Structure 1
């Protein structure tokens, strides 16, 4: 087990109070938050999604799930591009996000739960981690030719580091033509669901060595002083306004992504003219937003509805 994963596991089981927005109504819960090991032990969906490659690398694929046509009609369905977290590290993959993907599909959405190259994978890091996420989203152009997904209703959801990538994905069309990450005609993202999302790379990078925070410099190849353009092109706070609705769901006791930073991002997004809101889950930590859970399920349903309003 890598030191990054060991520290991540230790952090996920701890409690740390975070300042932020006023909590919204949520089910009462125990003071103990959901740990990574508890999430990891939860059963996977009985039925896997359809695995579809979007490139030659072994890490370039996604799982497509479509709603039950008997319950939700024949489509085309709104589609949620789902981007897992894990500090941008290869230690963590898309599998834990399949639980939420299956649940979202039960709500009448198609889901495209993507994998991508991460730190520790051949080619992971700058710029391929970002390019893979963009390429995976653009793969829906091809998927829509054979499967009933509505390209006019494409949204993105991401957990933790995946939340940063989902917010970045929504801003991709604003990249300058000479950016390494720019692509012609990127698929339009209509809204973002951020789940314990990392929203400011410049501030988040400051933290203990061998922590999730320390992955930022590795991801972007240096500090903000060394790589100012990379931070400007990828940090959600620096990309505002995104121009799309954003709903961020956050555990009040999250020790990995403090609520105060997410609240600061939402405040800045609103000032910039974005329709952004924060839902704080009292008594919840980092992982409740990433899985259907008594602490998060109602909030997740409301967030999906709000994105499409």
Structure 2
């Protein structure tokens, strides 16, 4: 999906990649966004002409080897003054087979559309295969980005940080489900001991049963994890959503009826197992929807995707 605002992307891509800190009245440092002063005029025009604000933050990674071109998040907020803790939060994780050809810029329109529904949207970029990622780096980056969310919340007190819905498409759906259950990991596993836990997850065409997906011929998973399930079983057991279900984590798995990249059965398998485990899980099959069109703002079913995420976020916010 490339139907994003080219002006906004251009502006975001040229921001000076230097992050400073300001201080609250109690003296605690809070992150400040990357400066937009060096962005072209059309970036400012896009923001000024819309009803949302957008800022970029660079997050630190566990190994200390941050790539400022990839270790960042864009925060989209509805314009205006909002009471503290009043804006529900969505964490957005893009897909692309865990590979570098597709990045978070493809989700700018998606993020804007959600922000227009009164949501704070935290659009995550991370290192991928071909750009310094893969296992375990990609997973460590996503964990670090989510663990940085409370810092962004301190800088933006209007965001309700008590609840957050993490949403991912394709590989991002797997990463989102994994991110929602990192607290179940052993201390020596990648992403363990999370500093911040989302309260619900929405997967959009995610490979939520990775072993079954591999058996069905998905070699993208094999490349991402560095082997088949019988070759690196510990990696699959650590990151495969169906092997790490938390019945206390509400989940929604949406899939396209015409998806031939990640067949709907792998989402259905996850939901069926989660229900057997006593979890709150829903499977939503979207007819006439492909792997790409499920996140295409021009697709007829995209409104339902937005509504599902928005309801999940607002319901979490109201308790």
TM-score, length-normalised on structure 1? 0.79
Does the C-alpha gap of structure 1 residues 167 and 117 become closer, same or farther in structure 2, counting only changes over 3 Å? same
Determine the structure 2 residue equivalent to 1:300.
306
Following TM superposition, by how much is the alpha carbon of 1:42 offset from its aligned partner in structure 2, in angstroms?
Answer: 5.3
Distance in 1 of aligned mates of 2:188 and 2:275? 29
The equivalent residue for 2:2 is 40
2:103 paired residue among 93, 104, 116: 93
**Which residue of structure 1 lines up, in the alignment, with residue 226 of structure 2?**
221
- Does the 8 Å contact 2:258/2:289 carry over to 1? yes
* Cα distance change on mapping 1:66 and 1:43 into 2, 3 Å: closer
* Counterpart-to-counterpart distance in 2, 1:41 and 1:141: 31
Q: Are 1:49 and 1:63, in contact at CA under 8 Å, matched by a contact in 2?
A: yes
Shift of 1:270: 1.0
2:82 is the counterpart of 1:77 = no
Give the TM-score normalised by structure 2: 0.77
- Give the match for residue 149 of structure 2: 140
- Gapped regions of structure 1 (runs ≥ 5): 1-38
Q: Quote the Cα distance in structure 1 between the aligned partners of 2:247 and 2:188.
A: 20
Quote how far apart the aligned CAs of 1:74 are.
5.9
Query: How much has 1:294 moved relative to structure 2?
Result: 2.2
Which residue of 276, 280, 293 maps to 1:275? Answer: 280
Stretches of structure 2 that go unaligned for 5 or more consecutive residues are 9-45, 48-52, 61-65
Q: Deviations over 1:185-229 (max 9, x none)?
A: 421110011111111111222455xxxx21212222222112111
Matched with 2:18 is none
Match of 2:205 among 193, 196, 200: 196
Report the counterpart of residue 293 of structure 2 in structure 1. 288
Q: Quick check: 1:201–1:231 contact (8 Å CA) kept in 2?
A: yes
1:1-309 mapped onto 2 (5 Å cutoff): 39-41=1-3, 43=5, 46-47=46-47, 49-55=54-60, 56-57=66-67, 58-69=69-80, 75-122=85-132, 124-147=133-156, 148-183=158-193, 185-206=194-215, 213-292=218-297, 293-306=299-312, 308=315
The number of equivalent residue pairs is 264
Local SS of the residue matching 1:223: coil
Question: What is the CA deviation profile of residues 133-163 of structure 1, one whole-angstrom value per residue up to 9, with x for unaligned ones?
Answer: 0100011121111113222112200000000
Q: Which has the higher contact order (CA 8 A, sep 6+)?
A: 1
Could you list the per-position Cα deviations for residues 29-55 of structure 1 after superposition, in whole angstroms to 9, with x for gaps in the alignment?
A: xxxxxxxxxx32454564372111003
Q: Deviations over 1:166-202 (max 9, x none)?
A: 000000011111224323x421110011111111111
Q: Quick one: distance in 2 between partners of 1:152 and 1:105? A: 18
- Closer/same/farther in 2, CA of residues 145 and 73 from structure 1, 3 Å limit: closer
**Alpha-carbon separation, structure 1, partners of 2:267 and 2:95:** 16
1:299 Cα offset (Å): 4.2
1:26 paired residue number: none
Secondary structure at 2:154 match in 1: coil
Whether the 8 Å CA contact 1:207–1:214 is kept in 2: the answer is no
Cα separation, partners in 2 of 1:169 and 1:128, compared to 1, 3 Å: same
